[in-house]
Structure 1
Amino acid sequence: MLLSTVDWLIIALYMIFSLVVGLWVMKQSGKDSTEFFAAGKNMPWWLLGISMVATTFSTDTPNLVTDIVRQNGVAGNWTWWAFLLTGMLTVFVYANLWRRSGILTDVEFYELRYSGRSAAFLRGFRAVYLGLIFNVIIMATVSLAAIKIGSVLMGITPLQTILIAGVVTVIYSALGGLRGVLITDFFQFFLSILGGLVAAYVALQHPDVGGMSGLFSHEDVFPKLNILPDFSDNSQLVSLLIIPLAVQWWSVYYPGAEPGGGGYVAQRMFAAKDENHSIGAVFLFNALHYALRPWPWIIVGLASIIVFPDLDSIRQAFPQAANVVDHDMGYPAMLTFLPVGWMGLVIAALIAAYMSTISTHLNWGSSYLVNDVYKRFLKPESSEKELVNVGRITTVFLMILAGGLALMMQSALNNFQIILQIGAGTGLIFILRWFWWRINAWSEIVAMIVSFVVALYFRFVHTQVGFSVLESWEELIIGVIVTTISWLLATYLTRPTSEKTLIDFCRLIRPGGPGWKKITELGTEKGLSKAELEDEAWRVPKGILCMVLGCVVVYGILIATGYWIYGNIGPAVFLTVIVAASAWLLIREWKKLVQITPEISESGD
């Protein structure tokens, strides 16, 4: 497909704008490592929240949703909708704890919480594992989607796609640091939302689709419309709803939805002005991410079932992309029907989605490699200017690796499932380490190793030795059980963290609760007051109540929106009333939660 001059002009203008932003903030972002990686720790909640939404709206996200809808229907999206529970737990339980830490990256947490060589090893290993290996896989997955969109909509080769989009992104990311990422994310968010709405509208206008009525009445689409899985089909109910809501959300590490917070979400919390801005940012992110964005993508995915009913129809329509065709190409395939001008806008929106995600991962990954590897282990005496320069070089290096790996990948959904399996069983540690003193560095080291080995086993060994193929959720359950047993054994068979480290942790974070009772007693025996070691009241019970209410509000909006779109007025009205009542209760309880933990002076700011 050939783009018009107008389309190319819109795309070019957006890329130039991104470069200008990087140049504009380059001087300020280059002052020191805190400016480069945490935007001076003075950002407002609304900018941070919108930035997180823009980051999670990557180029592969609509492709992933389309893949899910085409194969498992709308209900298949519960595999990622379930992570809202993780997000709300972070909002009301962990956001203020992260902000109190005063650290620059979440892996720096390891030497705050644990002691000895094992803590140092864990910090360095985790920095390389997440910042380099895991991070490059995520960026390559996002770049794979860009390759498919470039092949279908712009008629360019995979290598050309990576070179064009990657070069622009890496330039403004390396120049502007996190501040540049946040500013461009703000504009990218609105452009991406507009592009998604336009894509959905044009998909509905396709003559084979015939608008909303034609879409929802089509014999191939109708079975895919259920928002909740078919409760009479046990296999679908278990795999699409029960496992994600009962096990997956707390047991699995996944970027942007880490149990207990972490990754680039934690990075945004570190960049907030204070605890309240940190909490507000994460709540805004979760509300917009789960309640606002999915339906335009779902509509395009459903329409693609009519226009491109199977993979062969996509291959026939786009022979130049035949070697990367999968169900996730249904989304870019539908975009080929966009008119002149709108095509350029939507492609610019997808480029914005790509750049927002890649720029965040470049800055986030670079922060690990610079702060937690280079500065911590290789050259502790580095000047701030040197750290910024190393950060910029590392940013370029990560982009080169991600682009190379993307050229060898094929499916976004397949990559998503692999990532979930690699992190299976580690999530519970990220929740408990804040509230149980006995968790130590070896707990996390063993969990990482075992979960990775289990993932490799299912990927390369299980069927080769004669065992039958398991469903992805069955592999997940086995991975969680094996990993959890392993790290629990490691916890009790190894020495606990030193008393001094644990007491210092309590003084800084004040996590409270029965899991820290022993350490609180030790601290008081050493002359510390109880007020120095924990808040006046333990905030977790109230936080969990707010978490539940927050989930009811967001899930209610998500499902009610679907029923309004379907024209099911009764359920839509009922859920809207539930949302309004839950929102009122949430506001009331949130105010009480804030009163439990008054603002304090924070170390490291």
Structure 2
Amino acid sequence: MQTLDLIVFLIYMGGITLFGASFYSKDKSASTFTLGNSNFPTWVVTMSIFATFVSSISFLGLPGNAYQSNWNAFVFSLSIPVASLMAVQFFVPLYRKLNSPSAYVFLETKFGLWARVYVSACYLLTQLMRIGTILYLLALPVNALFGWDILTIIAITGFVVMGYSLLGGIQAVMWTDAIQGIVLIGGALVCLLYIVFSMPEGPGQIMTIALENDKFSLGSFGSSLTESTFWVVLIYGVFINLQNYGIDQNYVQRYMASRSDAEAKRSALWGGMLYVPVSMLFFLIGTALFSYYTAMPEALPAELRDIAKSDRVFPFFIVDVLPPGLTGLLIASIFAAGMSTISTSINSSSTVILVDYFQRFSKTELSEKTAMRVLYLTTFIISMLGIGIAFAMINVKSALDAWWKLASVFSGGMLGLFLLGAFVDKINRKGAIVGGVLGVLLILWMSLSPIFWTDGEMQEYASPFHAYLAIVFGTMVLFLTGFLISVIAPRKHLPEDTAAGS
């Protein structure tokens, strides 16, 4: 079985790597590396945005989360239409008009250089954590199937993605995204169908067991702010997805890579909307797995019956139950999900470092040769740092929960600054700084105090709120503080307000 699966897996890995590397050319410029001359078909941009949403965090984390608990985390997906419509109405036109490869030039025009540096740094930290989390999750099924060392798998995967990202730039990233998006949807559908028709008493047994255990629950509809209720996850999802669409370089770079404003809007809308049914597919897989192993508990090893190891149940099923060849296809699908997101993060991060740091602070205009050296070097460094973070993720209890909490910490008020700049005409920059400081302090307190102040005298000062609300409260404090100070003491327009560098 392992031989056939290994062949399927290696064919996929080799094929996608060679395809991505085929975009390399000696006359490549920084513009083609970061935007591909803005000449991508709409469907490619759409699938690339979708593939950016979906990663191994989704492919393994969502089924693991559904297996462990219920469909509470699916509420996050229900918030995506709100962000998609906001993108079409406000965000895409804003960035297309600005016409810069970086999402953070806009913030400098509104608040000054400090905002551009601060938010771009937060973005880079977020992407490093994302790359590390995904690399770790990708290693799980390969470790289960072939018994290879997890550290070795992480390193090889990281180098493979770095290779075609470095050689092909955003053209390699977006075209492989499109292919990988199709592969991962097909693989997930095949897996769900196999589970459904493998139940001892037929497909209906999945629903019977799931309903008996309340596995389709979307969470409590109560007003508690200390638990992961329906409303807490929904509000968290709205804020995170507004941040994705509004200030995340991964998405903004795709708006700019589209051929026209109309095509960028269509891609932004449907790229996000496609994630809703696909995420439902992942939750169905997790619920179906719960029913499968409830009906046949002897099929699950004792060490995986610990609910804390739910992330490992789906990889085990892929290896233990699926027939030869199909196992290799599913692992290829998982890698399709993860590799597309990793390559996006690598390319976008190197773009940010070039545009927001090297070009912004250089006293002379960078030559194309120097710009390409910066892009190549930063692609390598970001990849290596991501691999190191993946090593550190090995002992994390739940990759999905860890990612969501880290995303809140590193968001650091990014969304609040963006909304303040986008929807408030006359801004007092000192007010924005005050709001930023208060927002970040609140986020750090809400995210970290429950972890470090677990006992002793400091315990009573720990945040009582759910960690998902950190970005919500932090964003609101930053926005409202900046808005109120701007209303009370509006800053007069100065020439430098519109003289920010690109």
Q: Note if 1:298 corresponds to 2:289.
A: no
C-alpha deviation, 1:91, in angstroms: 2.0
Whole-angstrom CA distance in 1 between matches of 2:160 and 2:19:
12
The verdict on how the C-alpha distance between 1:380 and 1:369 changes in structure 2, with shifts beyond 3 A counting, is farther
C-alpha deviation, 1:237, in angstroms: 12
Whole-angstrom CA distance in 2 between matches of 1:204 and 1:80:
23
Whole-angstrom CA distance in 2 between matches of 1:282 and 1:368:
20
Q: Note if 1:242 corresponds to 2:231.
A: yes
Conservation of the 8 A alpha-carbon contact between 1:311 and 1:325 = no
Residue 205 of structure 2 aligns with which residue?
A: 214
Counterpart residue identity of residue 265, structure 1: Y
Q: Note if 1:338 corresponds to 2:334.
A: no
Whole-angstrom CA distance in 2 between matches of 1:426 and 1:312:
48
Question: If you compute each CA radius of gyration, which structure gives the higher value, 1 or 2?
Answer: 1
Q: Which of residues 219, 228, 244 in structure 2 aligns to 1:258?
A: 244
Whole-angstrom CA distance in 2 between matches of 1:288 and 1:139:
22
Counterpart residue identity of residue 327, structure 1: S
Deviation readout 1:269-296 (Å, 9 max, x if unpaired): 01111211110110110221113x1233
Residue 74 of structure 2 aligns with which residue?
A: 77
Counterpart residue identity of residue 113, structure 2: A
Residue 223 of structure 1 aligns with which residue?
A: 214
Deviation readout 1:353-381 (Å, 9 max, x if unpaired): 11101100000111111211122225643
Q: Note if 1:435 corresponds to 2:423.
A: yes
C-alpha deviation, 1:318, in angstroms: 6.4
Q: Which of residues 270, 277, 282 in structure 1 aligns to 2:268?
A: 282
Residue 164 of structure 1 aligns with which residue?
A: 156
The verdict on how the C-alpha distance between 1:278 and 1:124 changes in structure 2, with shifts beyond 3 A counting, is same
Deviation readout 1:563-596 (Å, 9 max, x if unpaired): xxxxxxxxxxxxxxxxxxxxxxxxxxxxxxxxxx
Whole-angstrom CA distance in 2 between matches of 1:325 and 1:149:
17
Conservation of the 8 A alpha-carbon contact between 1:229 and 1:236 = no
Counterpart residue identity of residue 107, structure 1: Y
The verdict on how the C-alpha distance between 1:447 and 1:278 changes in structure 2, with shifts beyond 3 A counting, is farther
Kindly report which structure 2 residues correspond to 1:524-603, keeping only aligned pairs within 5 A, or say none.
none
The verdict on how the C-alpha distance between 1:497 and 1:264 changes in structure 2, with shifts beyond 3 A counting, is farther
Q: Note if 1:412 corresponds to 2:399.
A: yes
Counterpart residue identity of residue 188, structure 1: Q
Q: Which of residues 9, 14, 30 in structure 1 aligns to 2:12?
A: 14
Q: Note if 1:199 corresponds to 2:195.
A: no
Q: Note if 1:182 corresponds to 2:174.
A: yes
The verdict on how the C-alpha distance between 1:441 and 1:34 changes in structure 2, with shifts beyond 3 A counting, is farther
The verdict on how the C-alpha distance between 1:349 and 1:313 changes in structure 2, with shifts beyond 3 A counting, is same
Whole-angstrom CA distance in 2 between matches of 1:237 and 1:302:
25
Conservation of the 8 A alpha-carbon contact between 1:215 and 1:221 = no
Whole-angstrom CA distance in 2 between matches of 1:143 and 1:299:
24
Kindly report which structure 2 residues correspond to 1:3-82, keeping only aligned pairs within 5 A, or say none.
3-27=1-25, 31-82=28-79
The verdict on how the C-alpha distance between 1:498 and 1:249 changes in structure 2, with shifts beyond 3 A counting, is farther
Conservation of the 8 A alpha-carbon contact between 2:210 and 2:290 = no
Residue 145 of structure 2 aligns with which residue?
A: 153
Q: Which of residues 116, 128, 138 in structure 1 aligns to 2:121?
A: 128
Deviation readout 1:115-163 (Å, 9 max, x if unpaired): xxxx2232233323312x2211111111121122222233221112112
Whole-angstrom CA distance in 2 between matches of 1:144 and 1:478:
25
Conservation of the 8 A alpha-carbon contact between 1:216 and 1:222 = no
Counterpart residue identity of residue 419, structure 2: I
Conservation of the 8 A alpha-carbon contact between 1:253 and 1:426 = no
Whole-angstrom CA distance in 1 between matches of 2:447 and 2:453:
9
Q: Which of residues 382, 387, 390 in structure 2 aligns to 1:403?
A: 387
Conservation of the 8 A alpha-carbon contact between 2:96 and 2:255 = yes
Conservation of the 8 A alpha-carbon contact between 1:122 and 1:441 = no
Aligned pair count reads 487
C-alpha deviation, 1:68, in angstroms: 2.7
Larger RCO (CA under 8 A, 6+ residues apart): 2
Conservation of the 8 A alpha-carbon contact between 1:11 and 1:348 = yes
Q: Note if 1:500 corresponds to 2:486.
A: no
Q: Which of residues 373, 387, 391 in structure 1 aligns to 2:375?
A: 391
Conservation of the 8 A alpha-carbon contact between 1:136 and 1:402 = yes
C-alpha deviation, 1:69, in angstroms: 1.4
Residue 311 of structure 2 aligns with which residue?
A: 328
Whole-angstrom CA distance in 2 between matches of 1:346 and 1:482:
39
Residue 408 of structure 2 aligns with which residue?
A: 421
Which ranges in structure 2 are unaligned for 5 or more consecutive residues? none
Q: TM-score, normalised by structure 2?
A: 0.86
Deviation readout 1:414-473 (Å, 9 max, x if unpaired): 2233135323765344234212123465526436633553245435444341238767x5
Whole-angstrom CA distance in 1 between matches of 2:154 and 2:168:
21
The verdict on how the C-alpha distance between 1:300 and 1:502 changes in structure 2, with shifts beyond 3 A counting, is same
Whole-angstrom CA distance in 2 between matches of 1:166 and 1:497:
49
Whole-angstrom CA distance in 1 between matches of 2:364 and 2:121:
17
Whole-angstrom CA distance in 2 between matches of 1:125 and 1:503:
19
The verdict on how the C-alpha distance between 1:503 and 1:480 changes in structure 2, with shifts beyond 3 A counting, is same
SS of residue in 1 equivalent to 2:244: coil
Deviation readout 1:544-567 (Å, 9 max, x if unpaired): xxxxxxxxxxxxxxxxxxxxxxxx
SS of residue in 2 equivalent to 1:484: helix
The verdict on how the C-alpha distance between 1:32 and 1:225 changes in structure 2, with shifts beyond 3 A counting, is same
Q: Note if 1:140 corresponds to 2:132.
A: yes
Conservation of the 8 A alpha-carbon contact between 1:199 and 1:296 = no
